[in-house]
A and B are shown apart, each in its own frame.
Chain A
């Protein structure tokens, strides 16, 4: 029986080619979108699934309160380790101190590379479930050892056996390779780790780390844990909550609260607002999930509409079948098998489309998703997906078509009732509501991105490069290098800074100044810079003066930004002192010599943070900032800079970033959303229009006789076009009026997340409406004009 159903279905498909192409093609597009989004969702949700103990792994986070503002982050102080090990270790299976993931220069013979990685405690390889390819798992036992990822080992040693070889790190100290581990997969929170060096080495080589041992105020470290078997995340979180507050009085005023962020939340729910977990990437998971569902729904609606629109053609078949003994449920089965066949077809096409577009999608979405050919789970889910789609798309036509009474349809007196087209109309309205809402959403996302992009950044990021200087080799050579680079003619100015132009790496508090309000807990962005910082960035001085090499006293000088001036409540900040409020061993006070214009160093969607630019007395810089010579091509400048760089630092790999590119990175997440939703919107519209196109052609066919009669009576092409288009335009207009308030509500909500946001203008909505109506008109007109221009004699004769 099934065979018979499928045979009929197949012949139907072949017989009505245009219909089949629209039906299968539209459905295939919709399914391809849903599949790709599905793969993307699976990838997002399986982040960190590498770890067998994922459910028991966590990072220790800290919330602190500054002026009623609760800030939450993973930075914790060093003494916390001892406190937890001494008093709370029965809650943990592993407790591992770690540095941040930083680039490190690694050199072996003549090969010198820069790779990211961490300094971590001995159990890290166990904790990270590293797959050891060479050497030993306990490779961090000796202080002067290093473990490398497979790719890094290969880059350094080529085909040689790395075990036992000595590499020079940071061009300063020697480390022996004790292990090589397989690179962690890309959808892993630790994927950037290419080297592991014992934590103790970190302590011994970095003075500030050593000094932080008992300093509860220096929150510069990370702590990863795995729970003991008999406790839960919540239990441990509540146990360790007040450990820091109870042990240290100095920092108690900031109300430090410790808690665990479970690994399952690291990637998707890592945003905190005022101490509360407020999601994160999970919102995109939801967003794209909803988009995928809607696009599939649109494609299914096409299927339903085209099937029911063709009902007149199928009615006779239903009548005959019933008259030779078919029961209704047999007909329902038949139509469902037909829809299954179509969906299966569409699915195969969708797979084809997905395979073709996966590379492009990966690039857009920054993913490395492979098509899961070998995954049983994928095929099972797909089968379910196909069945579900067949039911979704086929149930309505099946129920509708099988309900015809044979006596009516066989007599030829069958007339679709006045309201038989109503469900179809409702579905068209639904389709276009979704499409119009998508258009509006996409336009608003794009607008918001452009709005933030056009925001003045406060400095000149064109022709500005930064060179990382993560080695002691650079110490004490700043002036020399500046002169060398200037003499080479490749740059017009150079400065150093302790953090990149597009980031804030450090924050400070604990100052007093004249007029500081009682109980005010300041929090200032902290950047150490060389005197030419403002000059090299073209940062405007709005009050006072810039650093000057003429004044020796400038070594204790500081520039603040305009926001800081307001934040600190200073009418005339120039000349005022910021004093360290540490009573025992205070640093000398900092003297404000000038105010610079606000520059965006963090999110372009947020207000600029109050900050200070301090004279770099101890060569704490991490970057050279260079203003390229505008009279030469950038590539020429870079080549010269590299040459000079190599002369002085032959053992350090030359790396640089264009600051404008780095800045553009800040928009990457939103731009990805914008681009992807743009593509999905285009597809949604295409699918909806395919359906509309099909529907119009059926209507035109149905009304051939009427059109013929009207033409004989003198109707013009325009009259006929008007008659056929009017109905559809009406439906799309209704959709617009439903879509506008919905999308306004949703997009307004989305924008609230950005303190710096575009104002929604009425014309966006008007434009989307006009666009949707225009597209509808084009789609419908093609068929309408074709029908209107056909020779009436012909159409009348065929009836």
Chain B
């Protein structure tokens, strides 16, 4: 088992009222799963993803990731866990504008304090694998949306995470680009990477092995 959420509650207080973002979420994710999270806007999809990705906290409940109790871990420990096992893919790609493709790919490795030569090799591998060697010295602004997202996925993959969290990865792409990306996810999943994606599209959700539906913060 990769991760487990037990009775997760997340809320904010607004004007004396408690507004629930996540309500009593119970979820178990096995390694190798490909899960699609669906639901209307504001149903808590992204929040759930952020909680799983440890970018966001929660108010109540228990979160176990690879047998580590995330809810009681120290910030630093949590960051290490997260750096080691989780990769993020965003709708807006979120590449660093001031860095080239190659440098963007290198960034997570730098934070993992991997040595220079090894780093170079891993970046080269990744460029190769995604067929973007020719674009390695370009800046994000010089790439199309699909290419940027490709780099975004490559960056998420470079530290060989067990889990990829994708927040509407094809939301900003046209349909053919979107299909390519989804095919890539499918392929990654076949290679053993666990994927959790947030999506609005039934078609994209169909790539997954399981669909979770959210409404007003509740799983239905």
Q: Do A and B come from one complex?
A: yes
Judged by a CB distance under 8 angstroms, whether B68 is at the interface is no
Judged by a CB distance under 8 angstroms, whether B20 is at the interface is no
Count how many chain B residues have C-beta atoms less than 8 Å from C-beta atoms of the other chain. 29
Q: Knowing A323-B55, A407-B55 touch, does A317 contact B96 (C-beta < 8 A)?
A: yes
In the assembled complex, which residues on chain B have CB atoms less than 8 Å from the CB atom of A7?
Answer: 99, 103
Asked if residues B88 and A323 are in contact (CB atoms below 8 Å), the reply is yes
- The chain A residue with its CB closest to the CB of B159 is A325
Judged by a CB distance under 8 angstroms, whether A49 is at the interface is no
Some 18 contacts from A to B, beta carbons below 8 A apart, are A1-B113, A4-B103, A7-B103, A8-B96, A323-B90, A323-B94, A324-B111, A325-B79, A325-B82, A325-B83, A325-B108, A326-B111, A327-B76, A327-B79, A407-B55, A407-B56, A410-B92, A412-B92
Chain A residues within CB distance 8 Å of chain B: 1, 4, 7-8, 11-12, 15, 316-317, 319-327, 330, 406-407, 410-412
In the assembled complex, which residues on chain A have CB atoms less than 8 Å from the CB atom of B92?
Answer: 410, 412
Judged by a CB distance under 8 angstroms, whether B112 is at the interface is yes
Asked if residues A11 and B98 are in contact (CB atoms below 8 Å), the reply is yes
Judged by a CB distance under 8 angstroms, whether B50 is at the interface is yes
In the assembled complex, which residues on chain B have CB atoms less than 8 Å from the CB atom of A330?
Answer: 111
Sorted from nearest, which 6 A-B pairs have the closest CB atoms? Answer: A325-B83, A325-B111, A11-B98, A324-B108, A320-B94, A407-B56
* Smallest beta-carbon distance A20→chain B, Å: 14
Q: Report the Cα distance A412→B53, complex, angstroms.
A: 18
Would you give the 0/1 interface string for B86-102, flagging 1 where the beta carbon is closer than 8 Å to chain A? 00101010111111000
Q: Knowing A7-B103, A325-B79 touch, does A320 contact B56 (C-beta < 8 A)?
A: no
Would you give the 0/1 interface string for B54-91, flagging 1 where the beta carbon is closer than 8 Å to chain A? 01100000000000000000001001001100001010
Asked if residues B50 and A407 are in contact (CB atoms below 8 Å), the reply is yes
In the assembled complex, which residues on chain B have CB atoms less than 8 Å from the CB atom of A406?
Answer: 55
User: Residue among B53, B92, B110 with the most chain A CB within 10 A?
Assistant: B110
In the assembled complex, which residues on chain B have CB atoms less than 8 Å from the CB atom of A316?
Answer: 94
Asked if residues A8 and B98 are in contact (CB atoms below 8 Å), the reply is yes
List 10 additional A-B contacts (Cβ < 8 Å) besides A322-B55, A324-B88. Answer: A7-B99, A11-B99, A15-B98, A323-B53, A323-B55, A323-B90, A324-B108, A324-B155, A325-B83, A327-B76
In the assembled complex, which residues on chain B have CB atoms less than 8 Å from the CB atom of A323?
Answer: 53, 55, 88, 90, 94
For residues 98 through 122 of chain B, which have their beta carbon under 8 Å from a beta carbon of chain A?
Answer: 98-99, 103, 106-108, 110-113
In the assembled complex, which residues on chain B have CB atoms less than 8 Å from the CB atom of A8?
Answer: 96, 98-99
Asked if residues B50 and A320 are in contact (CB atoms below 8 Å), the reply is no
Q: Report the Cα distance A12→B94, complex, angstroms.
A: 17
* Smallest beta-carbon distance A322→chain B, Å: 8
In the assembled complex, which residues on chain B have CB atoms less than 8 Å from the CB atom of A412?
Answer: 92
In the assembled complex, which residues on chain A have CB atoms less than 8 Å from the CB atom of B112?
Answer: 325
User: Residue among B83, B94, B95, B99 with the most chain A CB within 10 A?
Assistant: B94
Q: Report the Cα distance A8→B112, complex, angstroms.
A: 18
- The chain B residue with its CB closest to the CB of A15 is B98
In the assembled complex, which residues on chain B have CB atoms less than 8 Å from the CB atom of A15?
Answer: 98
- The chain A residue with its CB closest to the CB of B99 is A8
* Smallest beta-carbon distance B81→chain A, Å: 11
* Smallest beta-carbon distance A711→chain B, Å: 30
In the assembled complex, which residues on chain A have CB atoms less than 8 Å from the CB atom of B82?
Answer: 325
Q: Report the Cα distance A12→B99, complex, angstroms.
A: 10
- The chain A residue with its CB closest to the CB of B76 is A327
In the assembled complex, which residues on chain A have CB atoms less than 8 Å from the CB atom of B96?
Answer: 8, 317, 320-321
Q: Knowing A324-B108, A325-B82 touch, does A410 contact B94 (C-beta < 8 A)?
A: yes
- The chain A residue with its CB closest to the CB of B79 is A327
* Smallest beta-carbon distance A321→chain B, Å: 7
